[in-house]
Amino acid sequence: MDYINLLVRPGEYFEGEELTNPVDDRIVSFDFISNIHMVKEGVVGNQTQIFKIDVRRFYCNRLIRPKRYKPWKWP
């Protein structure tokens, strides 16, 4: 899992997306927006709002799969 921090200014945008393998179109990873902070930049009275976005990238082949246990039976 990778962590990415982005700044989004007025007129810009960011969408979490799926990244695919160009050979077979299988999904390799996807982005997840985990947190958004509003930050004001500039001089008081003439401030611009900027959004700081925390993004996590999950790789499908690195995800931990839960263990499957056999159902327990009485003796």
pLDDT class of 75 with cuts at 50, 70, 90:
low
Residue 68 belongs to a domain: no
Which residue from 5, 62, 53, 7 is spatially nearest to 30, judged by alpha carbons? 62
Residue 75 belongs to a domain: no
Q: How far apart are CA 31 and CA 57, in angstroms?
A: 4
Residue 54 belongs to a domain: yes
1 or 26, which is more confident:
26
Q: How far apart are CA 30 and CA 44, in angstroms?
A: 38
Which residue from 28, 26, 36, 21 is spatially nearest to 57, judged by alpha carbons? 28
Instruction: Say how many domains are in the chain.
Output: 1
48-70 pLDDT, tens digit per residue, is: 999 999 999 888 887 677 777 77
Q: How far apart are CA 7 and CA 13, in angstroms?
A: 9
Q: Note down the domain range covering 57.
A: 2-62
